[in-house]
C-alpha cells in the first residue's frame, strides 16, 4: 500500500485541519473552528466549480493511510485582492539623503502601504505535523509541490503571478516586533486579534494604517531586524521557492514584516515540467522511470488525488506507471494522469 496520499480537503476533514492549524495559526489557516468550517465548505464549492474562479480556494490534505490521520496541508488562493477585500502589503523603498554642509550621507528604508484589487494567486497554508517533518518520504516537499501541479492542470483558473508569503522571525510566544512597533499603535489590537480578524475582514487595515511612508529608522531595532527576513521555521520553504523560480520582491506583510516572494506562473519550473498524459501499459521495471508526483482528477469528493510514484513516458507519449501507483489512484489504461517530475 502507498502509505501517503494527497487529496482535496472535504468538510469531514474539519478536526484534522483544525489540529494542523493549531501548529502554526496563520492568516490563511487560523486555529479557529468556525473559520476552518467555512474554509472547507468554500473549498468543496471551489472544487465543484460553484464559485467564481477568482474567489476560489483549494485546500489539500496529506493523509497517512497507515495511521489514518492528516500529516500536513497546503492551499491555493486563486486571487488575492478584489473589491471589498484588497491585497494589502508594505512596499519597502530606499530614500537617499545627503547634506553637503555637514557631509552626512544616509540610506533610509521606508515602508509604504499598498493595495491591489486585482492581485496574484497565492500559495499558502503549508503545514506539516512535527512528527512527520523528517520522515524519509519527503512528504513536506510533496504537499508543497502539489499546489504547482494543480495550477499546471488548471492554468486558466489562476493568475499570471504567484505569490508566497513567508513568516519572519517571531518570538516564542508569537510576538511580532513589527506589529508591536506599528500595527498595535494604529489599531489598538494585539497581533493575535488582528491576525484572526484579517482572515475575514481587512477594512480596519485600510482604514486605520497610515498612508504616508513610515521611516524604518524610527522603529525599534527589534522591529527593524525582522523586515523582509525569513524565520527559521520557513527557511526550507525559501530555498524551495528560490530553486523553482521565485524571488523576493521588496514587499512585506504589514503585520509582521514577513517577505513576499513572487514568480510568473509559466516561469515556475514545477509548472513547466508538469504534463497530462494518458496511461499506457504498467511499468514493470522501476529502473526505467523516474520519481514523480502522480495525480488524477475525480468527479466528486475528494476531487483530486496524488501520490509519489515512478513514471516513464513511452515512445507514443503515454504514461507508464508502476502497478501500485495505478492501484493507489484507481487508474486504468487510457485514463488521463498528471505527472510532475520530482528532484
pLDDT of amino acid 1: 60
Options 3.40.630.30, 3.40.50.2300, 3.30.530.20, 3.40.190.10; CATH for 4-80+119-176+190-207+229-271 is 3.40.630.30
Distance CA 165, CA 185 (A): 23
pLDDT of amino acid 109: 95
Q: Give the domain ranges of the chain.
A: 4-80+119-176+190-207+229-271, 274-341
Q: What is the DSSP letter of 279?
A: B
Contact at 8 Å (CB) between 331 and 337? yes
pLDDT tens digits along 121-143? 999 999 999 999 888 889 999 99
Contact at 8 Å (CB) between 90 and 112? yes
Q: In the predicted model, what is the mean pLDDT of residues 179-207? A: 89
Got the DSSP string for 191-232? HHHHHHHHTT--HHHHHHS-SS-EEGGGS-HHHHTTTTPPPG
Nearest to 302 by CA among 132, 48, 33: 48
| Coil vs helix vs strand at 89 | strand
pLDDT tens digits along 16-71? 999 999 887 777 788 889 999 999 999 999 999 999 999 999 999 999 999 999 99
Higher pLDDT, 307 or 30: 307
Higher pLDDT, 31 or 156: 156
Topology agreement, domain 4-80+119-176+190-207+229-271 and domain 274-341: no
Nearest to 236 by CA among 134, 151, 122, 91: 134
Distance CA 294, CA 311 (A): 8
Global confidence as pTM: 0.93
Distance CA 281, CA 322 (A): 9
Q: What is the DSSP letter of 246?
A: -
pLDDT of amino acid 275: 96
**Domain 274-341: which CATH class?**
mainly beta
pLDDT tens digits along 322-332? 999 999 999 99
Amino acid at each position: 500500500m502507498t502509505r501517503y496520499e494527497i487529496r482535496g480537503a472535504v468538510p469531514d476533514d474539519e478536526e484534522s485541519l483544525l489540529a494542523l492549524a493549531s501548529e502554526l495559526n496563520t492568516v490563511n489557516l487560523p486555529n479557529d473552528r468556525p473559520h476552518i468550517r467555512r474554509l472547507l465548505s468554500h473549498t468543496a464549492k471551489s472544487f465543484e466549480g460553484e464559485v467564481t474562479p477568482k474567489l476560489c480556494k483549494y485546500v489539500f490534505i496529506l493523509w497517512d493511510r497507515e495511521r489514518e490521520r492528516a500529516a500536513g496541508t497546503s492551499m491555493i488562493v486563486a486571487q488575492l485582492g478584489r473589491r471589498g477585500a484588497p491585497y494589502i502589503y508594505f512596499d519597502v523603498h530606499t530614500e537617499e539623503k545627503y547634506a553637503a554642509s555637514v557631509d552626512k550621507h544616509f540610506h533610509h528604508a521606508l515602508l509604504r502601504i499598498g493595495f491591489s484589487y486585482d492581485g496574484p494567486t497565492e500559495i499558502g497554508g503549508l503545514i506539516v505535523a512535527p512528527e512527520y517533518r523528517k520522515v524519509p518520504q519527503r512528504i513536506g516537499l510533496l504537499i508543497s509541490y502539489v499546489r504547482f501541479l494543480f495550477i499546471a492542470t488548471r492554468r486558466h483558473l489562476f493568475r499570471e503571478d504567484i505569490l508566497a508569503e513567508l513568516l519572519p522571525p517571531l518570538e516564542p510566544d508569537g510576538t511580532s516586533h513589527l506589529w508591536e512597533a506599528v500595527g498595535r499603535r494604529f489599531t489598538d489590537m494585539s497581533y493575535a486579534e488582528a491576525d484572526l480578524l484579517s482572515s475575514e475582514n481587512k477594512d480596519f487595515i485600510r482604514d486605520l494604517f497610515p498612508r504616508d511612508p513610515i521611516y524604518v529608522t524610527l522603529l525599534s531595532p527589534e522591529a527593524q531586524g525582522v523586515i523582509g527576513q525569513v524565520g527559521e521555521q520557513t527557511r526550507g520553504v525559501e530555498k524551495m521557492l528560490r530553486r523553482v523560480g521565485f524571488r523576493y520582491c521588496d514587499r512585506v506583510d504589514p503585520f509582521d514584516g514577513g517577505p513576499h516572494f513572487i514568480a510568473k506562473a509559466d516561469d515556475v519550473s514545477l509548472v513547466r515540467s508538469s504534463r497530462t498524459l494518458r496511461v499506457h501499459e504498467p511499468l514493470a521495471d522501476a529502473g526505467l522511470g523516474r520519481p514523480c508526483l502522480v495525480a488524477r482528477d475525480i468527479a466528486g469528493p475528494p476531487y483530486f488525488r496524488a501520490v509519489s510514484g515512478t513514471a516513464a513516458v513511452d515512445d507514443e507519449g503515454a504514461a507508464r506507471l508502476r502497478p501500485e501507483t495505478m492501484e493507489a489512484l484507481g487508474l486504468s489504461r487510457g485514463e488521463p494522469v498528471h505527472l510532475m517530475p520530482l528532484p
